[in-house]
Chains A and B, each alone.
Chain A
Amino acid sequence: MKRGLVVLEEWAPAELRSRVETLQRRLIEQGVEVAAIYGDVHRSGDITYLTNLCLYWNEGILLVPARGDPTFLTKLSPRVHPWMRATSTVTDLRSGPDLSRLVTERLGDLDPGALGIVDGHWWPAILLRSLPAALPGWQIRDLGPLVRGLRLRPSSSELAVLRESAAVATQAWRTGALPGLTPTERVAAAERSAREHGVEDVLARASAVWLEVVVEYRGYWTAVAGGLQVQASQAALAEAEARLRPGVSRRDLEAGGVTLLHHVDLETGGDHRPDEDRDAPLEEGAVVVLSAGRSGERLMHTYLITADGPERLTGTWEGA
């Protein structure tokens, strides 16, 4: 769970403002007055990307007007607002048990227009279906994975954080992969290492001879997994790695028996990816995870895609 360090880095506010402004330009282009982004403790990457908010429990909605500052609507108590303000760029925070009602109250003073729902089909249906009646005069429009699209190619500052995240994951893997540990000792050692390096979250799984570590560091997820022995899936991973370059699609790579995830999809294991993601050409500058082999023994690494091929950001014993 998200029980680790949550901080707002000094450099972050300016970059976060710029991300919100990019989204706002998209909204203006599409004639949308306000974008609504739903998140919960399991899936909150879009909201974190725009605000640095950490949804450590429960659900919430980020409202981003085409002009002006975002508002975060949360089921958590107002007692959490000072912490949220200290660790994010959001200043307008509103709490209540009914998110639909909070949306209505926030938009009540505005002239009706278009409310853009980001990833509407992943919203709770009851909440989504309540909006037309709650917002008479407003046009409810699905914006699809608009924010995910902005996240697929990280900025230079994001890439720097992704490199740190990968280094933390690698260190945690190496700490947990020492010889002679039991599976629970491997997980415990990896967990402690990652949390002492300041991750928000870490998901670790192990067997007697294998360890997988997935970490969220400053909102950025990376993953590494491998065995303490030579594994049959190494050839498949090496082959996919050799083919990983701009222009290749996920479908192309996965034909070789590996799976590919963008870093933005790691928090949910790719369960919410849009169907079109399978055939979209990978872009230079994207950060992705390749995995080969079945759960419990798979190999995983995190890569930056460059024009010359992949740069591996994580390492195991063979080094990175």
Chain B
Amino acid sequence: MMNDPPSAEREVRHGRLREAMASHALDALLLYAAGWRREYVRYVTGARLSASFAVVFLPLAGDPVALVASGEDRRAVEEAGWVADVRPIRPLQLDQPRGLRRVGVAHLELMPEAILGQVEEALPGVELTSATQLVDAVQRVKSPWELEQVRHAARVCEAGWESFVRALAPGVPEYVVVAAVEHELKRLGAEDNFMLIASGGREVMGMTPPGERRLQVGDMVRTELTPQVNGYWCQICRTAVVGEPNADQRRSSELFLEALEAGLAAIRAGVTAHDVARAENDVFRRHGYGEYCTSRYTRVRGHGHGLHPDETPSIVEGDHTVLEANSVVIIHPNTYTPLAGYHVLGDPVVVTAHGYEPLLTTERKLFEVAS
């Protein structure tokens, strides 16, 4: 199931990172992986790691060094073959190249004192500065190989949604629905899954991990599920009703479909995240639901995808990041309204010069499950 990235992919990625370093007057990058944020290190090593931390040193010129916390991670990096020099992270041993003055640290904000202190000792006199936004920007634009992985993840994503619908029935607890989805995703080779759920009526204000609540006839059941396949995440947001939807649930579905389609219609290379979010929110404003686009009721109107499920940019009004061709974003105008409570509907797309490539074929509708 694993489709290892070709070595040409390494040259592309390291080359793009080095271009970014040069344009920001950095002599090297240190890319840090926390146990829950390994995307940068996977990007530069091509390896799937499992320990709680790892660091890669990528100089502007010269060979990279990977610092890992376990024998298993050492083998993973060596087998990927992108970084030949693999060392233990504790004690941290870095040879300071001559002329090294300024180093960007990706995920500096998460690097623990135990590791940053060792980095500072290993690189005396070197200015360390955050390179998190810089590396985010590099990773936003996907290579053709990366886009193939996202398309594959999208197919798994759709199968996950189908298993979600199959699992819905009166009396079934939320956590058993999630178990069915996880089974299907893992059967199809997913490494992991980010998933939230909520069931009930108008009282539902947001989504969380599952509880013991058993589904009832008339419930709206909302989910965002996000399998990770060969490193790449892809998300779908849909809502289903157990039984026949009522008039308010149908009206809510129409509202969210209109907002999603407005957001998608705004997408093309060169527009900003703000432009897309405004297109979505204008639909709510036009129908008298503008207040439900605020942070009191919702987080974002979409976001990036890739080696992390929630990459930049955030699709929100006020974020003026320019969308670039071959970046991947999900558009989801998810929020609460008094019509039918929290509602989710979202599709991931690849941004193109004149629009977008849809990644899903799942219908954009309110699904109905026989009760």
| Residues of chain A whose beta carbon lies under 8 Å from any beta carbon of chain B | 1-7, 40-43, 54, 56-57, 77, 79-80, 82-83, 87, 120-129, 184-185, 187-189, 191-192, 195-196, 198, 200, 204, 268-269, 271-272, 294-295
Contacts and interface: CB of A to CB of B under 8 A. Distances in A.
Interface stretch (B109-117, B237-245, B260-268, B282-290): B109-117
Nearest to B111: A125
A80 B100 CA distance: 45
B36 A40 contact: yes
B92 interface: no
B347 to A, nearest CB: 21
B182 A122 contact: no
A188 B184 contact: yes
Contact of B109 (A124, A192, A204, A271): A124
**Chain B's interface: helix, strand, loop or mixed, by majority?**
mixed
Contact of B211 (A7, A124, A204, A272): A7
A272 B52 contact: yes
A188 B53 contact: no
B141 interface: no
A81 to B, nearest CB: 10
Interface string B171-209: 001011011101110111100111100000000011011
Contact of B183 (A5, A122, A191): A191
Contact of A271 (B51, B111, B116, B179): B51
A295 to B, nearest CB: 5
Interface string B205-225: 110111110000000000000
Contact of B187 (A82, A129, A188): A188
B211 A121 contact: no
Contacts, number: 134
A271 B69 contact: yes
B72 interface: yes
A7 B209 CA distance: 10
Contacts of A57: 194
B297 interface: yes
The 7 closest A-B pairs by CB, nearest first: A42-B35, A195-B179, A271-B52, A192-B183, A188-B187, A5-B175, A125-B116
Interface in B62-116: 69-72, 75, 108-116
Interface of B: 1, 34-36, 50-53, 69-72, 75, 108-117, 173, 175-176, 178-180, 182-184, 186-189, 192-195, 205-206, 208-212, 295-297, 299
B178 A121 contact: no
11 contacts: A5-B209, A42-B34, A80-B208, A83-B208, A87-B211, A123-B113, A125-B115, A126-B108, A184-B1, A187-B186, A188-B187
Contacts of B296: 79
Nearest to A189: B183
Nearest to A128: B113
Nearest to B76: A295
Nearest to A176: B186
B209 A295 contact: no
Contacts of B34: 40, 42
B262 to A, nearest CB: 24
B112 A122 contact: yes
A195 B110 CA distance: 30
Nearest to A294: B71
Contact of A195 (B36, B72, B112, B178): B178
Given A56-B209, A269-B50, A269-B51, A188 B183 contact: yes
B175 A1 contact: no
B211 A5 contact: yes
Contacts of B1: 184
Given A41-B36, A123-B113, A126-B108, A3 B52 contact: no
A270 to B, nearest CB: 9
